[in-house]
């Protein structure tokens, strides 16, 4: 569910017209719905209510300070993948003691920073890393709370770039070696407290089965580790998928109701219902680390049509957003629904490629799709752009990072100013001779 729909012929986010935002703030601009973010968070939190649990938002999906603040106020924990993200969480008023730190390449500086802030857990991805954390904790006279990430060798059935739970992926310790890893850690590392067990099999999973398979495979190990080392939590990772198509209709209760049980997309309720029975009997605290599920359908990218270019083979709608603003189509073959802000224009469709201004053939948002036949100056919204959107934006082609806006009810505010040319060049000026 989300809060983007047509209202009196104009696409709105909650009660704010996106045409108004485009006119007042320019484009390209990301717009997020506060209500959708909170709704998603609360849905998952309440679906898991039978378990002693915590929802740790995966910061990398959308790390804007105002989004983090919204979730911190709601009591969320945070799953971070760099010390920079921890720094953000702290600035936004989040509690470092509710942070878990994942990632295969943590540096000394990052480990020190996280130890100083006494994070809840380092989610460790190798014995080499564990040994390094143990040394640093010793130097600082601290005990590091850790979970080791197990790679359960389960096929998440998602795009190959976002699949993380197979043994050929770089993540975690192989399932076969995980018990030995704990034994080794328990025997050899004095500045480590074995605090939990972690896994994360991939992102954008639209079927519940791989989650169930992984949880059933790993739960007996969690039980053993609890008995042997008194671990406190089992993190089952993130990865709950969202509806990219049809993104617009999926915001509508009537659409959800019209879907049969089998066709209905993965929901927090179904996810929780399937994993709860296996997890409940463990008596461990259960962590989930959703990113996309919380933020994905809570954001759109507004872009203006600059030109229509008619070629021999195709029609191109050239827009002012590019792959530097939203890279998912180029990087993951990601799909984004595209709609006109002016509903009238939706009635006139044309088969076209919607492309950006970047000098790359991969710089497109759709190919050979029926889209609203916009003219120069009209606007499109690219749907489901709230996660892995702005956070992956770059300055490629010396383009400033887009504006970000948060809508709450009748109001909107700028939560990140548009980046100007001088902001981009600043760090290079000293190099001029």
- Positions touching ligand PLP (CB under 6 A) are 58, 60-61, 79, 81, 102, 200, 203-204, 237-240, 289-293, 387
Quick one: 27 or 297, whose CB is closer to ligand PLP?
Answer: 297
Query: 299 with 315: CB under 8 angstroms?
Result: no
Helix and strand numbers, DSSP H then E, in the chain: 13, 21
Q: Which of 13, 99, 305, 359 is flagged as catalytic?
A: 359
Name the 3-class secondary structure at 223.
helix
Query: 366 with 326: CB under 8 angstroms?
Result: no
Name the 3-class secondary structure at 31.
strand
Minimum Å distance from CB 103 to ligand PLP?
Answer: 7
Instruction: Give the CA angle between residues 374, 379, 384 to the nearest 5°.
Output: 115
Minimum Å distance from CB 292 to ligand PLP?
Answer: 4
The CA distance from 335 to 218, in Å, is: 32
Q: Is 359 a catalytic residue?
A: yes
**Euclidean distance between the first and final Cα of the chain, in Å?**
55
The CA distance from 215 to 220, in Å, is: 9
Minimum Å distance from CB 28 to ligand PLP?
Answer: 22
Quick one: 19 or 79, whose CB is closer to ligand PLP?
Answer: 79
Minimum Å distance from CB 240 to ligand PLP?
Answer: 6
Question: For the residues of 128-149, what is the DSSP string, one character each?
Answer: HHHHHHHHHHHHTT--EEEEEE
Read off the tokens for 311: 């070629």
Eight-state DSSP code of residue 253: H
Place of tokens 């717009």: 31
Minimum Å distance from CB 202 to ligand PLP?
Answer: 7
Minimum Å distance from CB 86 to ligand PLP?
Answer: 14
The CA distance from 396 to 196, in Å, is: 40
Read off the tokens for 260: 């049969």
Read off the tokens for 411: 């109001």
Is it true that the peptide bond before 381 is cis, omega within 30 degrees of 0? no
Q: Which residues are catalytic?
A: 359
């Amino acid at each position: 569910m989300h809060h983007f729909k047509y209202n009196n012929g104009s696409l709105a986010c909650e009660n704010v017209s996106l045409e108004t935002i485009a006119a007042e703030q320019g484009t390209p601009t990301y717009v997020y719905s506060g209500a959708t973010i909170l709704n998603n968070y609360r849905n998952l939190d309440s679906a898991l209510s039978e378990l002693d649990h915590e929802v740790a938002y995966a910061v990398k999906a959308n790390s804007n300070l105002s989004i983090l603040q919204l979730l911190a106020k709601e009591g969320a924990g945070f799953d971070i993948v760099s010390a920079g993200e921890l720094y953000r969480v702290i600035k936004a008023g989040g509690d470092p003691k509710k942070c878990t730190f994942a990632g295969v390449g943590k540096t000394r500086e990052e480990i020190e920073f996280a130890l100083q802030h006494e994070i809840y857990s380092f989610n460790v991805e190798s014995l080499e890393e564990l040994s390094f954390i143990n040394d640093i904790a010793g130097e600082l006279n601290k005990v590091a709370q850790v979970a080791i990430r197990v790679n359960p060798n389960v096929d998440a059935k998602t795009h190959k770039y976002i699949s993380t739970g197979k043994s050929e992926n770089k993540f975690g310790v192989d399932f076969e070696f995980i018990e030995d890893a704990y034994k080794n850690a328990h025997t050899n590392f004095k500045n480590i407290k074995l605090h939990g067990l972690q896994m994360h099999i991939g992102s954008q999973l639209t079927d519940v089965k791989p989650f169930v398979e992984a949880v059933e495979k790993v739960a007996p190990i969690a039980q053993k580790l609890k008995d042997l080392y008194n671990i406190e939590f089992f993190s089952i990772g993130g990865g709950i998928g969202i509806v990219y198509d049809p993104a617009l209709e999926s915001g509508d209760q009537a659409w959800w109701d019209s879907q049969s049980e089998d066709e209905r997309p993965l929901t927090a309720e179904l996810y929780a219902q399937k994993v709860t029975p296996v997890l409940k009997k463990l008596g461990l605290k259960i962590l989930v680390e959703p990113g996309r599920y919380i933020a994905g359908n809570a954001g759109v990218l507004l872009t203006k049509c600059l030109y229509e270019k008619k070629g021999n083979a195709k029609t191109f709608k050239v827009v002012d957003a590019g792959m530097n603003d939203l890279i998912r189509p180029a990087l993951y073959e990601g799909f984004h629904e595209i709609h006109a802000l002016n509903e009238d224009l939706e009635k006139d469709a044309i088969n076209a490629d919607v492309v950006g201004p970047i000098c790359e053939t991969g710089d497109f948002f759709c190919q050979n799709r029926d889209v609203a036949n916009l003219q120069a100056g009209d606007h499109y919204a690219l749907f489901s752009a709230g996660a892995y959107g702005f956070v992956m934006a770059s300055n490629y082609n010396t383009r400033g990072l887009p504006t970000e806006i948060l809508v709450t009810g009748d109001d909107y505010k700028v939560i990140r100013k548009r980046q100007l040319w001088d902001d981009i060049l600043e760090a290079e000026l000293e190099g001029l001779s």
